Amino acid sequence: MIRDGHISPRQVTAILTIIVLGKGLDSAILILVHWGHGAAELLLLVAEGLIAGAILLLLPLHKAQDKNLADVINDTFGRWIGSVICSLLFILLMADITINLEMDMQQIRMVFLPMTPTQVVLIVALMAMVIPAYYGIEVLGRTNLIMVLLLLGIAAILVPMTIPMMDLSKIAPVLGPGPWTLLKEGVLHVGFFGEYLTVLMLRPYVRDYESYRKSVVTAMIICLTVGFVAMLDMQLVFPYPTDDHLFFPFVEMARILYFGRFIQHVEALFALTWLAVALARLSLLVYILSLLAASMTASTNFRRFIPLLAACIYYGALMIPSLPMALDLRDIWLEKRGFPVLATIIVATIVVGHWKARTAQKDGPSDAGAGSGSGSRGQAQPQPRQPAAHGSG
Amino acid sequence: MAKVDHGRKIARRLLSCAIFGCSLLLSGCWDNHELEDLAFVTVIGLDVAPGNNLRITYQYLTPPAEDPRKGNTGKTPLTTTFLVPSFGSAPMIAATTTDRLITAQQVKALVISEELAHREDILPFLDGMVRERAYRRDVLLVTSLDSARAFMRANRSKLGSNTLTYIENMRHQHLYTGMFPEVTLNDFLIASETTDQLGLMGLAAIASKPKPPEKSVVAEGQELPGSIQKKGGDNGLQFSGAAVYQGGRDIGRLTGQEVRCVLLLRGDIGTFSQTVMDPFRPGMHDTLQVFQVIPPSIHPTLRRGRLSYRIDVNLYGALSSETSKVDYVQTLTSQKKLREAFETMMESDVSKLLRRSQTEFRGDVCQLDRALRWRFWTEDDWKRFNYTKHFEMARFDVRFHLHLKEFGKQRYFVGR
Q: Which of A119-123, B13-17, B393-397 has the lowest mean pLDDT?
A: B13-17
Are B198 and B87 found together in one domain? yes
The answer to whether the Cβ–Cβ distance between A241 and B193 falls below 8 Å is yes
* In a domain? residue B176: yes
Do B400 and B416 share a domain, yes or no?
A: yes
Nearest C-alpha in B relative to A123 = B22
Banded model confidence at residue B210, pLDDT cuts 50, 70, 90: low
Stretch among B74-88, B228-242, B259-273 having the lowest mean pLDDT: B228-242
Q: Is residue B14 part of a domain?
A: no
Q: Stretch A229-257: mean pLDDT, rounded?
A: 87
Strands (E), B267-341: 271-277, 285-291, 297-303, 306-322
In the structure, what pLDDT confidence band is assigned to residue B60 with cuts at 50, 70 and 90? confident
Residue B5 has a pLDDT of: 76
- Judgement on whether residues B404 and B275 belong to the same structural domain of the protein: yes
Gap from B199 CA to chain A (nearest CA, Å): 14
Confidence of residue A49 (pLDDT cuts 50, 70, 90): very high
Residue among B152, B56, B167 at smallest CA distance from B106: B167
With respect to residue B196, please indicate whether it lies within any of the assigned structural domains.
yes
Q: Which residue has the higher pLDDT, B159 or A197?
A: A197
- Mean pLDDT computed over B121-149: 88
The CATH number given to whatever domain includes residue B316 is 3.30.300.210
The answer on B274 and B229 residing in a single domain is no
Task: Note whether B210 and B102 are same-domain residues.
Answer: yes
Q: Which of A24-33, A328-337, B27-36, B80-89 has the lowest mean pLDDT?
A: B27-36
Looking at the structure, tell me whether residues B143 and B193 fall in a common domain: yes
Contact A37 B25 (CB under 8 A): no
Residue B25 falls within a domain, yes or no?
no
Question: Could you list the residue range(s) of the whole structural domain that residue B58 is in?
Answer: 33-254
pLDDT number for residue A182: 92
Q: Suggest the residue from B12, B22, B33, B372 to mutate for an interface test with chain A (most A CBs closer than 10 A).
A: B22
Rounded Cα distance between A167 and A266, Å, is 21
Strands B199-206 and B140-144: parallel
In this prediction, residue A383 has a pLDDT band, given cuts at 50, 70 and 90, of very low
- Distance between CA atoms of B322 and B324, rounded to whole angstroms? 6
Query: Per the CB < 8 Å rule, is A175 touching B367?
Result: no
Query: What whole-number distance in Å separates Cα of residue B268 and Cα of residue A165?
Result: 12
- Best probe of the A interface among B378, B380, B381, by most A CBs < 10 A, is B378
pLDDT at B228 exceeding the cut of 80: no
The Cα of B380 is separated from the nearest Cα of chain A by a number of Å equal to: 7
pLDDT band at A367 (very low <50, low <70, confident <90, very high): very low
- B248/B264 same-domain check: no
**Mean pLDDT on B10-20:** 77
Asked if B230 and B161 sit in the same domain, the reply is: yes
Contacts of A37 in chain B (CB under 8 A): 379
How much is the pLDDT for B163? 72
What lies within 8 Å, CB to CB, of B172 at 6+ separation is B182
Q: How far is CA B43 from CA A278, A392, B111, B135, in A?
A: 35, 63, 7, 12
Give the residue, A373 or A293, on which the prediction is more confident. Answer: A293
Greater pLDDT, A373 or A286: A286
Say yes or no to pLDDT of B411 above 60: yes
Q: Distance (Å, rounded) from C-alpha A18 to C-alpha A279?
A: 10
Is 80 exceeded by the pLDDT of residue A348?
A: yes
The last residue of one of the domains, among B254, B273, B297, is: B254
Cis peptide before A241 (omega within 30 of 0): yes
CA pair distance A111, B397, nearest whole angstrom: 49
Mutate to test the interface with B, among A256, A257, A279, A306 (most CBs of B within 10 A): A256
In a domain, B24, yes or no: no
Question: Of A229, A230, A391, A292, nearest to A68 (Cα)?
Answer: A292
Answer yes or no: is pLDDT of A175 > 50: yes
Identify the pLDDT of residue B68. 54
The answer to whether residues B164 and B39 belong to one domain is: yes
B205 lies in the same domain as B301: no
Question: Which pLDDT band, with edges at 50, 70 and 90, does A310 fall under?
Answer: very high
Share of chain B above pLDDT 90, in %: 17
At B176, the pLDDT band (50, 70, 90 cuts) reads: confident
Question: From the CA atom positions of chain A, what is the Rg in Å?
Answer: 21
Q: What is the mean pLDDT of the segment spanning B126-148? A: 88
User: Does the pLDDT at position B340 exceed 80?
Assistant: yes
Selecting from B18, B137, B190 the residue whose C-beta is nearest the C-beta of A239 gives: B190
Per DSSP bridges, beta strands B306-322 and B395-406 are parallel
Please state the pTM of the whole predicted model. Answer: 0.83
Q: Where are the alpha helices (DSSP H) in B27-98?
A: 90-94
pLDDT higher than threshold 50 for residue A376: no
- Out of A38, A170, A256, the one facing B379 most closely (by C-beta) is A38
B71 in a structural domain: yes
* Count of structural domains within chain B: 2
Cβ contact A202:A1 at 8 Å: no
Tell me, what's the pLDDT at B17?
Answer: 79
Closest CA to A73 of A378, A351, A371, A381: A371
Confirm if B241 and B261 have CB atoms less than 8 A apart.
Answer: no
Query: Three-state DSSP class for B323?
Result: coil
For residue B14, the model assigns a pLDDT of 80
User: Domains plus CATH for chain A?
Assistant: 9-355 (1.20.1740.10)
Across B78-113, b (16+ Cβ under 10 Å) vs e yields bbbbbebeebeebbebbeeeeeeebebebbbbbbbb
Residue A219 has a pLDDT of 93
**How are the residues of chain A apportioned to helix, strand and coil, as percentages rounded to the nearest 5?**
75, 0, 25
> Using alpha carbons only, what angle is made at residue A255 by residues A116 and B267, rounded to the nearest 5 degrees?
160
Answer whether B382 sits within 8 Å of A124, measured CB to CB: no
Flag the least confident range among B187-201, B210-224, B320-334, B378-392. B210-224
CA distance B350 to B400: 10
Contact A172 B31 (CB under 8 A): no
Does the structure show a pLDDT above 80 at A380? no
State how far Cα A369 lies from the chain centre: 30
- What are the tens digits of pLDDT across the range A64-108? 888 888 889 988 898 889 999 999 999 999 999 999 898 888 888
> pLDDT at residue A139 above 80?
yes
What residues have CB less than 8 Å from A236, skipping those under 6 apart? Answer: A165, A166, A167, A168, A170, A171
pLDDT at A369 (0 to 100): 45
Residue ending a domain, among B219, B234, B254, is B254
- Any bridge partners for residue B200, and if so which? B244
- Alpha-carbon distance of A158 to A167, in angstroms, equals 16
Q: Among B254, B270, B291, where does a domain finish?
A: B254
* Single-letter amino acid code for the residue at B48: V
Residue A40 to residues A33, A171, A219, A229, B191: CA-CA distances in angstroms?
Answer: 5, 12, 21, 11, 20
Instruction: Please answer yes or no on whether B22 and A272 come within 8 Å at the CB atom.
Output: no
Our CA angle for A133, A136, A141, nearest 5°, is 95
pLDDT tens sequence across A219-234: 999 999 999 998 988 8
Q: Lowest-confidence range among B55-59, B204-208, B345-349?
A: B204-208
Is B324's pLDDT higher than 70?
A: yes
**Which of A114, A172, A275 minimises the CB distance to B374?**
A172
- Kindly list the residues from chain B whose CB atom is less than 8 angstroms away from the CB atom of residue A114: 133
Same domain, B202 and B274: no
Is B379–A171 a contact, with Cβ atoms under 8 angstroms apart? no
Q: What confidence tens digit (pLDDT) does each residue in A107-135 have?
A: 888 777 777 788 888 888 888 889 889 88
Q: What is the mean pLDDT of chain A?
A: 84
Mutate to test the interface with B, among A167, A181, A279, A323 (most CBs of B within 10 A): A167
Give the separation between CA A110 and CA A367, rounded to whole angstroms: 57
Alpha-carbon distance B102 to nearest alpha carbon in chain A (angstroms): 15
Q: Is residue B347 included in any domain, yes or no? A: yes
**Co-location of B213 and B358 in the same domain:** no
pLDDT score recorded for residue B296: 92
Q: Residues 6 or more apart from B276 whose CB is under 8 A from it?
A: B219, B285, B286, B287, B288, B338, B341, B342, B345
Neighboring chain B residues of A122 at a CB cutoff of 8 Å: none
pLDDT at residue A375 greater than cutoff 60: no
